[in-house]
Structure 1
Amino acid sequence: MDEVPHGLLPTELMIGHPEVDAQHDEIFCRIETLKAVMLEDGQPHHAEFDALIAFFELHFATEEACAQAAGIDFSAHAREHLKSLRILSRAVADLRDGRLDLRTFLRYLEYWFEQHINDFDKALGHRLEDARARGSRSLRSPAGIGLSA
């Protein structure tokens, strides 16, 4: 599998799709940065949380576009993305209003993201790989000679 830019994405969480893996790595980097900065001063940095949620929106759109391009039904996964964005947005609002502890949220955020990759994105990676394999087989003649696309 390709290396990821920051190297924070654990190997066991890679799904084998370079763009998605790079975005997962970026999210882990952003979470680590949030933890380092916010736990040092004990204050939530709301703009950084807003930027993280915006990056999740971009990332989820990337996964959806990959699935669509591969002809994969993504409806259940997309519903999970919407649910996750609602939960994360509500949690950030609770942080702003002082109803949620910063440390609790940061622990949850990292745990939730790892679980999302394990429960949803790894399956997506397998399905994308299957679609790539089917696509490359469809470009071959019966004798196994590659045809130009």
Structure 2
Amino acid sequence: MNIYLATLLPEALLVDLPEIDAQHEEIFNRIEWLKTACFDSGYVPIDEFQSLLDLFALHFATEERIADEAGLDFTHHAGVHGDTLRLLHRALGEVLSGGQDAHSFLRYAECWFERHIREDDRLFVAALQSGNYIPSRRQQTVASHCFSAQA
């Protein structure tokens, strides 16, 4: 499926990391497309909802990869990602069982994501760009092995 809407990502939500900004845009586009599809037809395309969760998972994995490559300790942020995916899967299950409506699910996902970008992703990107961060345990272990090999 080819989904593209005019830019929905406000300038205030840009984090100045092109790969991340593009994924943020794609997720907002998908949410908007799903809202429109639900309102226009009343039909809930469940496979497209799952596709939205897959986009979240891909995006979270991308952030985690970037943090790992930079040696940034991302433990807390990654924990937020895992908790969110579990919560979104549970909420989608409630939509499927009729316990929650699709519109509420989409509003929640959109509000959560906007808050996450403003509060968590901005801090993550600022840490990346400043280089002022504590290296991850993996980076510390790699560095200690390198230094001990030189001794």
Higher mean displacement: 80-89 or 43-52:
43-52
* TM-score, normalised by the number of residues in structure 2: 0.80
Q: Percent identity?
A: 45
Aligned residue identity for 1:22: A
Which residue number in structure 2 is paired with residue 93 of structure 1?
A: 93
**Cα deviation, residue 106, structure 1:** 1.6
Is 1:65 matched up with 2:44? no
Aligned residue identity for 1:23: Q
CA distance in structure 1 between the aligned counterparts of 2:11 and 2:50, rounded to whole angstroms: 28
**Cα deviation, residue 53, structure 1:** 0.7
Which residue number in structure 2 is paired with residue 121 of structure 1?
A: 121
**Cα deviation, residue 101, structure 1:** 1.4
CA distance in structure 2 between the aligned counterparts of 1:128 and 1:113, rounded to whole angstroms: 20
* TM-score, normalised by the number of residues in structure 1: 0.82
Aligned residue identity for 1:58: L
Which residue number in structure 1 is paired with residue 9 of structure 2?
A: 9
SS of alignment partner, residue 103 of structure 1: helix
Deviations 1:48-82 (A, max 9, x none): 01111111111100000111111111000000000
Deviations 1:16-71 (A, max 9, x none): 11100100000001011001111111222110011111111111000001111111
Deviations 1:59-114 (A, max 9, x none): 10000011111111100000000000001000111000000012211211111110
Structure 2 unaligned segments of length 5 or more: list them.
133-151
Aligned residue identity for 2:72: I
Aligned residue identity for 1:112: W
- Number of corresponding residues: 128
Extract structure 1 runs of 4+ deviating beyond 4 A: none
SS of alignment partner, residue 44 of structure 1: coil
Q: RMSD of the TM alignment (CA)?
A: 1.5
Structure 1 unaligned segments of length 5 or more: list them.
133-149
SS of alignment partner, residue 131 of structure 2: helix
CA distance in structure 2 between the aligned counterparts of 1:113 and 1:44, rounded to whole angstroms: 21
